[in-house]
Structure 1
Amino acid sequence: MKIPVAKALFNSHSYSEYRKLISDLLLEGKSTGNEQSEDLTHYSTLNETRMNRLGKTIKITEENSLKLKSLNSEYIWLVISEGWCGDAAQLLPIINKMAVESGKIDLRIVLRDENEELMKLFLTNKNKAIPILIVVDKETGSVLEKWGPRPKSAADLIIEYKKEFGVIDETAKTNLQLWYLHDKGLSTQEEIINLMQNL
C-alpha cells in the first residue's frame, strides 16, 4: 500500500465520526480545514442540513443494491473530504448508503488539509478538488481505482459554465446544487458501481 494511503487510513473517520466532527466544530463556530472564515463556516452549516436531509431521502435502487451485494471482494472506500465542500455534502450520504448496502465496503473519510501527501497523489487537473473516492483492496491494501470529485454530468455543467462566464460564482454553485437535487444520487450510484464492476 502506498505509504500516504496507509497513513491516511490510520487517521481516518467512519461516516458517523466525520459527521460528529463537523457538528462539534460548528458548535465552536468553526469549519474543518486549515483556513477558517465566515464563508466556510456558513457552507459547513448549509452542508450539515443537506447531509441530514439526504441521509433520510437518498435511496439506493434495487438493481444497484443487488450489484453492490454481488461484489466479489471486500474493499475500503477512502474518501478525501472537508465539511465546507458542497460536492462532498451531496455525495457522501450516497457513498455511505452504498457502502452499508454492499456489506463488503468499509467507508473511511479523511480531511484534505490534514492529508497533504495523500491529496497530492489524487489531484484533478492539478487542483486539490474534493471529494475523491479511493478504492482500496481490503486484503492487499493496494489502490485499485479513484472516482471524483463529482459525477460526469455535474462536472460538465461546471466546465461549460466556466467556459461561458469565466468564473465559478454563486449562480454556478446554485445550478450545481439544483443538478444534484434533480439527479437524486442516481448518476453517482451508476458511475461508482460501473467502476467497481470493472475492477
Structure 2
Amino acid sequence: MKIPIAKALFNSHSYSEYRKLISDLLLEKKSTGDEQSEDLTHYSELNETRMNRLDKTIKITEETSLKLKSLQSEYIWLVISEGWCGDAAQLLPIINKSAIESGKIDLRIVLRDENEELIKLFLTNKKKAIPILIVVDKETGSVLGNWGPRPQAAADLVADYRKEFGVIDETLKTNLQLWYLHDKGITTQNELADIMLELER
C-alpha cells in the first residue's frame, strides 16, 4: 500500500462521520479545509441541505444493484472531498448508497487539504479537483483505479462551457447543478458499477 493511501485511511471518516463533521463546523460558521470564508461556509450550508435531500431521494437502479451485488472481491472506496465542494455534495450520497448496495465496498472519506500527498497523486489536468474516488483492494491494499471528479457527461459540460466562455462562473455552476438534478444519480452509479466490473474481469 502506498504510504499516502495508508495514512489517509488511518485518518478517514465513514459517511456519517463526514456528515457530522460538516454539520459541527457549520454550527461554528466554519467549513472544512484550510481556507475559511463566508462564501465557503455558504456553499457548505447549501451542500448540507442538498445532501440531506439526496440521502432521502437517491435510488440505486435495479441494473446497477445487480452489477454491484455481483462483485466477488472486497474493496475500499477512498474518496477525497471537502464540505464546500458542490460536486462532492451531489456525488457522495450516490457513492454511499452504491457502496451499501454492493455489500462488498467500505466507503471512507478524507479531506483534501489534510491530505496533500494523496491529492497530488490524483491531479486532474494538474489541478486538485475533487471529489476523487480511489478504488483500493481491501485484501492487498493496492490501488486498482480511480474515478472523478465528475461523471463524464458533467465533465464534458464543464469543458465545453470553459472552451466557449473561458471561465467557471455562477452560470456554469447553475447549469451543472441542473444537470445533476435531471440525471438523478443514474450516470454516476452506472459509471461506478461499470468500473468495478471492469476491475474484476
- Do both proteins adopt the same fold according to a TM-score greater than 0.5, normalized to the shorter chain? yes
Partner SS state of residue 188, structure 2: helix
Alignment of 1:40-51 (within 5 A): 40-51=40-51
User: Match of 1:141?
Assistant: 141
CA distance in 2, matches of 1:33, 1:87: 16
AA in 1 matched with 2:153: S
Q: Number of residue pairs matched?
A: 199
Partner SS state of residue 157, structure 1: helix
AA in 2 matched with 1:144: L
CA distance in 2, matches of 1:159, 1:128: 16
Deviation at 1:155, TM superposition (A): 0.4
CA distance in 2, matches of 1:184, 1:141: 32
CA distance in 2, matches of 1:127, 1:185: 25
User: Match of 2:53?
Assistant: 53
Share of identical aligned residues, percent? 85
Partner SS state of residue 158, structure 2: helix
AA in 1 matched with 2:32: T
Alignment of 1:35-184 (within 5 A): 35-184=35-184
Spell out, residue by residue over 1:57-107, the C-alpha distance to the aligned partner (whole angstroms, 9 max, x if none).
000001111111110100000000000000000000000000001110000
- Output the TM-score relative to the length of structure 1: 1.00
CA distance in 2, matches of 1:34, 1:134: 22
Does residue 198 of the first structure (1) align with residue 201 of the second (2)? Answer: no
Unaligned 5+ residue runs, structure 1?
none
AA in 1 matched with 2:144: L
- Output the TM-score relative to the length of structure 2: 0.99
Deviation at 1:46, TM superposition (A): 0.2
AA in 2 matched with 1:55: D
Partner SS state of residue 88, structure 1: helix
Spell out, residue by residue over 1:117-148, the C-alpha distance to the aligned partner (whole angstroms, 9 max, x if none).
00000000000000000000000000000000
AA in 1 matched with 2:197: Q
CA distance in 2, matches of 1:20, 1:89: 14
CA distance in 2, matches of 1:68, 1:184: 18
CA distance in 2, matches of 1:95, 1:146: 13
AA in 2 matched with 1:70: S
CA distance in 1, matches of 2:45, 2:68: 31
CA distance in 2, matches of 1:61, 1:186: 8
CA distance in 2, matches of 1:73, 1:84: 33
AA in 2 matched with 1:117: E
Runs of 4+, deviation exceeding 6 Å: none
CA distance in 2, matches of 1:78, 1:174: 28
CA distance in 2, matches of 1:160, 1:68: 32
Spell out, residue by residue over 1:140-171, the C-alpha distance to the aligned partner (whole angstroms, 9 max, x if none).
00000000000000000001111111100000
